[in-house]
Amino acid sequence: MDQKPEPRPRGLSCARCRGSLQVYRTTKPTADLVVRYRRCKTCGTRTVSEERMIRTLPGPDDKVHVQI
Ligand SMILES: [Zn+2]
């Protein structure tokens, strides 16, 4: 199976106006959780999002290199 890394994912958009959001604060409460505070560039709505590991996958996969 030939897996290619995905292109850089698009950021989340504003729930109110779908405008683009700007991260103004990032915290890392635990090793596997990132919390980002975002503000809409268009309407100013502020939101909080979290990014966490769901699970680990079996075995290494050195064919995929995701650049962050
Ligand atoms: Zn907005």
**CA–CA distance, 50 with 44 (Å, rounded to integer):** 19
Cα 25 to ligand 1 centroid, rounded to whole Å: 17
pLDDT value, residue 10: 72
With b for 16 or more beta-carbon neighbours within 10 A and e for fewer, the 9-38 pattern comes to eeeeebeeeebebeeeeeeeeeeeeeebeb
Long-range Cβ contact pairs of 49-55 (< 8 A, separation 24 or more): 49/12
Cα 21 to ligand 1 centroid, rounded to whole Å: 8
Q: What is the tens place of the pLDDT at every residue in 6-61?
A: 787 677 899 999 999 999 999 999 999 999 999 999 999 999 999 998 888 888 77
pTM (two decimals): 0.66
Cα 9 to ligand 1 centroid, rounded to whole Å: 19
